[in-house]
Amino acid sequence: ALLRHATESGHVPGVVAMATSREGTLYEGAFGLRALGSAAPMALDSVVWIASMTKALTTTAALQLVEQGKLELDAPASEVAPQLAQARVLTGFDAAGQPVTRPPKRPITLRHLLTHTSGFGHETWSAEVQRAQAAWGLPRIGSGRKAALRVPLLFDPGERWQYGIGIDWAGQLIEAASGRTLGAYLHEHVLAPLRMQSTAFRLTPPLRSRLAGIHQRDPDGTLKLIAFETVQEPEFELGGGGLYSTASDYLRFVRAVLNGGTLEGQRILRGATVRDMAHNQIGALRVRPMATALPALSNDAEFLPGIEKTWGLGFQINENGTPTGRPAGGLMWAGLPNTFYWIDALGGVGGVLLTQILPFADTKAVALFGAFESAVYESLS
């Protein structure tokens, strides 16, 4: 009822939401339209850009290679990706507007990259990154050009949490260690074993035929369909945000995490690795609010304000219980067009809610995700 109301009231054009236990799907529903002005309904198999929900899948791939001894969490990442040895810390800008930098105090590691403590920021939430991009003539991360990775560090590795392009760099380590493109590695070792058959970086004709449109919410609250898709022939695939998927596909990944890294006889990670993913990996550091530097792409964003939050390997962790019913130790993250998921290993439940709305942290979509999660917990009580 709440999902139907959200579309009928015009809060969101279309929505797909699903919830799962360890054993199987608890709920699935799709409401509204794939795109405003179209007659095509949003469906359970509608394809959406999941953006930063890609990060948990890329992290999974990286940790598989750690298990195999091909990557190390705490070794200098430049041993695998030599370009990282060139990363320098931004200290300011000179009179001509050029970045002033210095060498970092310590090497960047894969653990730094996976936990947003590497020093890399993101143009969407950092005016300093944008200024450095302009001064050095660097493309934006969504361009799919490798030069976009060459932004300066905003601080020394390990010294604070700041959302950034670290997991895009982790994708480069995966390619170097495996000898495969990120997309090929993910397909063979993560997506195919989990039977996530509608998840990919490139929109094949079958995926495109089910694609939901992306909408922009104007300052007055109105929604309009916009022309947007990721670069389809990039120089590198964005491990931090390039995938398209469906709710049912991503729910299979959620279920695999709930089951300690296995689903229907296919193991993608060891149980101990999954436990590490769900454990605070940033010590005394804390996840901070993300103040927008590109209002067209994101509002100011903070999930669960007032609740202490840390970061594991791939996930935000709530250190206290949430108003929705999720206990301490829950995992979650989201994607730029207001796609969301949560994983509660203690309760054995998780869920996915997908819209296609910009800017990120849309108040209507965030509220709907919270209401859906609450409804799931209420139904189980």
Return the HEC string of 186-239.
Answer: HHHHHHCCCCCCCCECCCCHHHHCCECCEEEECCCCCEEEECCCCCCCCCCCCC
Catalytic member of 46, 118, 126, 163: 163
Tell me whether residue 378 is exposed, middle or buried, using C-beta atoms within 10 angstroms of its C-beta: 0 to 12, 13 to 18, 19 or more: exposed
**Mean pLDDT computed over 146-174:** 98
pLDDT score recorded for residue 327: 98
Model confidence at 270, in pLDDT bands (50, 70, 90)? very high
* Active-site residue flag, 52: yes
Check if 21 is active-site.
no
Q: Rounded mean pLDDT of the chain?
A: 98
The DSSP H or E segment spanning 374 is helix 363-380
Question: How far is residue 180 from each of residues 130, 174, 188, 198, 304, measured CA to CA in Å?
Answer: 31, 8, 10, 20, 38
End-to-end Cα separation, the chain, in angstroms: 19
Is residue 55 among the annotated active site residues?
yes
* The predicted structure's pLDDT at residue 119: 98
Given 55, 126, 185, 341, the catalytic residue:
55
Question: Which residues are within 8 A (CB) of 102 and not within 5 positions of it... i.e. 6 or more apart?
Answer: 88, 89, 91
Q: Which pLDDT score, from 0 to 100, does residue 291 have? A: 98
Residue type (1 letter), 368: L
Q: pLDDT tens digits for 361-379?
A: 999 999 999 999 999 999 9
- Reported as a single tens digit per residue, the pLDDT across 278-320 is 999 999 999 999 999 999 999 999 999 999 999 999 999 999 9
Quick one: three-class SS letters along 41-58? Answer: ECCCCCEEECHHHHHHHH
CA distance 46 to 298: 23
For residue range 107-139, what is the model confidence (pLDDT) as tens digits?
999 999 999 999 999 999 999 999 999 999 999
pTM, 2 dp? 0.98
Q: What is the pLDDT of residue 264?
A: 97
263 pLDDT band, cuts 50/70/90, is very high
Say what the pLDDT of residue 274 is: 98
Model confidence pLDDT, tens digit, residues 58-94: 999 999 999 999 999 999 999 999 999 999 999 999 9
pLDDT of residue 164: 98
Kindly name the residue from 46, 52, 178, 248 that is annotated as catalytic. 52
Cβ atoms of 40 and 33 closer than 8 Å: yes
